[in-house]
Amino acid sequence: MKMLKATIFVILLASVAGCNFLDYDESTDLKKEDVFSNFDRSKSFLTNIYSYLPSGFNSIDGAMRASASDNAEEIWELSNVQKFNDGSWSAIQTLDASWGQMYAGIRAVNQFLVEIEGQTFPERQYNNDYDQLMEQFELYPYEARFLRAYFYFELLKRYGSVPLVTDVLTPEDANNVQQASFNEVLRFIIDETDAVSQVLPVSYSSITNNETGRVTRGAAMALKARALLYAASALNNPGDDMQMWEEAALASKALIDSSWYTLEANYDNIVNNYTGTELILGRRLGNSNSFERSNFPIGFEGASPGTSPTQNLVNSYEMQSSGQGINEPGSGYNPNNPYEGRDPRLSSTVMYNGSTWKGTTLEIWNGGLHGPPQERATKTGYYLKKYVREDINLDPTNTTSKEHTWVLFRYGEVLLNYAEAINEVFGPENDGGMGMTARQAVNMIRARSDMPDFPGGLTKEEFREKLRNERRVELAFEDHRFWDIRRWKIGDQTTDIYGVKITKEVDDSFTYEQKLVEQRVFEDKMYRYPLPQSELFNNANLQQNSGW
């Protein structure tokens, strides 16, 4: 009996003290209903989806994808980008995390579309700006659908055939999805861009809050045009179906005809310029200096350079006066003064021996302040200039950071896309009834940089070659060359990577000697990415791309 009393005492003590003691939760996490029943949080969910837009600043393990093309070589030996070039790229060495990242963006879009359906945000109903909010809100599903189409294009250009997911998957679903064919994914992108083009605004400057940077009708049309150009190219159009080229040309032309965009007067202003007139869609970024750290020449304090533009790229810049390639007879090229009289885009894109950077003349000769044999000096004799902000300071005592904007679509590319597509169907000087010839389109680009027009009378093949060179030069370091090599199927022509060895002579003159820097491995299978091996393990329905 007394034991009983005592036991009751303990139980009483325990229950008084312990009742709600464990109902303690410090977490401040939101639940699904907290997010989607609230306007601001729904909006921020969409904002997060924008952050999945890729940028090309050091996107491959601290290096640029350009270093996996013949435009550049990465100085840092350990970067995974080297594995694109040395043959160790494989399904277990996938090098690029886009597969997971793009599907993460896609899931977010799928979830967003389901969850915001029918939301009216009654808590805001009596606010004065309710109508404006709802006006923005009406656009959100279309913005999200554009982003999803963009993410699918990123997958499509890598893998060719990928699962086309428009639902929110459970883990079990994810392990059982089927791949859609290249054409199914392409059609999805075309249909979606067509659909959102009907609704998205041309510009946000007339919409409340003036939230420029959001995706526009122009972005949707540019995505469609690029997707069709890729689909018409040799890799994806083995039969060279002219209808594909024509469809691509029309899609580009529609955007050219809109006259919403104009070329920047100055080539230097096309990058890192989120308000530019040429920019259709940019990947905006906040203040940082990491790209500068990895691209300022060695010898500048705080620099640990990575990207070395190749001699191959430098050689593709023509002579300004003649409009001829440096190896063409009579071009006016002087091998002892190789950077003189070149296409002005060279000095905007590349730092070479004798360039000026932050008031210093670069000494990239052997033994020079910015040259080999120092550790992390350029491997090719060049440093990257495009996208690198000269107004950033890396001195430890006065370090600064600045905004960067990565170009996703710009008007210049649309003109080049158009020229390429229409040349395939109608040749360089026949507008096929579209109102602009291929030569006219490319000459607009040339004129901006004070380069002479393409000569008349070129054959389709001659024009194609010259246009490919023009595209390489104009779009250098904007993450096009890597993909162009693939869609044109010219990988085997890009394996020998050259640089320049610069010697300072006794009389302070320089001799320039081209040297082979690297011989790369390129196999046919590399026209597509391998699906990550782990994905194949987890989902038996997936098929690996051929050769991997």
Partner 1 sequence: MNRIIYISQVCMLTLMGIYGSAMAQDSQIQGLVIDIDGNPVVGAKIHLVEDETIVSLSNRYGQFEIAGELGHHLKVENRGQVTEPIRISQNQMSVILPVQTNQISVGYGEYRSSNSLTGAVGFITGNDIPNNSVINPENTLYGKIPGLIALQNGGEPPTGATFNIRGVETFRNNQPLILVDGFERPLSSLSTDEIQNISVLKDAALLSMYGQRGANGVILVETKRGEADQLRVNASFETSITEPVGLPKFVQAPTYARAINEALLNDGLDPRYSNGDIDAFSNNSSPVLFPNVNWFDEVLRDQGTRQTFNISFDGGSSRARYYVLMNYSSDNGLFGPVNRNEDFSTQLKYGQFNFRSNLDIEVSESLALQINAAGNIVNRNTPSGGDGPNEIFNSLYRIPSAAFPVQTMDGSWGGSPLYGTNPVAMLTSTGYGSPNERELFLDSRLIKNLDNVTKGLSAELALSYNNFASYFEQQSKQYSYESVIPVRDQSGTVVDVERTVFGEDTELGFWSSFGNQRRSTDILGKIRYETLLENSELTAVALFHQSGMTLDGQNNTFRRNNFAGSLLYGYDQTYYVNVAVSYNGNNILPSNDRYGLFPAVSASWLISNEDFMADNSLFDLLKLRASWGVTGNDLIPNGNLHLQNYSGSSGYFFTDNNTFSGGTSESRLATADFTYETSYTTNLGVDIGLLENLFFTADLFYAKRKNILTNSGGRISNVLGVTAPLESNGVVENRGVEFDLEWRDTVSRDFAYYIGGQMTFTRNKILEMNEAFQPYDYLKETGRSVGQRFGLEAIGFFADQEDITSSPDQRFSQVRPGDIKYRDQNGDGIINEFDVVPVGYSSQYPELYFSASVGFNYKGIGVESLFQGTGNYTAYLNTPSVYWPLRNNNTLSEYYYENRWTSEGSADAIFPRLTTLNNENNNRPNDIWLVDRSYIKLRTLEVSYTLPVSFVQSLSMQRIKIYGRGMNLFSIDNIEIMDPEHLGTGYPTLRSYHLGLNIVF
Q: Does 273 bind partner 1 (CB under 8 A)?
A: no
Q: What is the CA radius of gyration of the chain?
A: 27
Q: Does 359 bind partner 1 (CB under 8 A)?
A: no
Residue list 54-83, contact with partner 1 (CB under 8 A): 77-78
Q: Does 456 bind partner 1 (CB under 8 A)?
A: no
Burial 347-356 (b: 16+ CB within 10 A, else e): bbbbbbbebe
- Name the segment binding partner 1 (CB under 8 A); options: 104-112, 318-326, 353-361, 415-423: 104-112
Q: How many CB atoms lie within 10 A of CB 207?
A: 15
Q: Cβ 2 to partner 1, closest distance in Å?
A: 5
- DSSP-derived letter for residue 370 is T
Amino acid at 526: M
Helix, strand or coil, per DSSP, at residue 461: helix
Residue list 377-436, contact with partner 1 (CB under 8 A): 396-397, 403
**248, 229 contact by CB (below 8 A):** yes
Residue list 300-329, contact with partner 1 (CB under 8 A): 301
- Best CA proximity match to 68, nearest among 432, 488, 495, 545: 495
Q: Which residues sit opposite 285 in a β-bridge?
A: 404
**115, 36 contact by CB (below 8 A):** yes
Q: Does 113 bind partner 1 (CB under 8 A)?
A: no
Q: Cβ 484 to partner 1, closest distance in Å?
A: 27
Residue-level length of the chain: 548
Helical H segments across 259-384, by residue range: 290-293, 311-315, 345-349
Residue list 33-52, contact with partner 1 (CB under 8 A): 34-35, 41, 43-45, 47-51
Q: Which H/E stretch holds residue 150?
A: helix 130-159
- Best CA proximity match to 378, nearest among 515, 286, 190: 515
Q: Does 275 bind partner 1 (CB under 8 A)?
A: yes
Question: What string marks each residue from 178 to 207 as x (binds partner 1 by CB under 8 A) or -?
Answer: ---------------------------x--
56, 58, 72, 105: residue in contact with partner 1 (rule CB under 8 A): 105
Q: Does 472 bind partner 1 (CB under 8 A)?
A: no
Residue list 135-174, contact with partner 1 (CB under 8 A): 163, 165, 169, 171, 173-174
Comparison of 317 and 510: residue with beta carbon closer to partner 1: 510
Amino acid at 240: D
39, 84, 99, 411: residue in contact with partner 1 (rule CB under 8 A): 99
Residue list 500-529, contact with partner 1 (CB under 8 A): 506
- Name the segment binding partner 1 (CB under 8 A); options: 23-31, 326-334, 338-346, 347-355: 23-31
Beta strands in 402-509 (DSSP E): 402-410, 496-504
Comparison of 90 and 315: residue with beta carbon closer to partner 1: 90
Q: Does 10 bind partner 1 (CB under 8 A)?
A: yes
Residue list 207-246, contact with partner 1 (CB under 8 A): 209-214
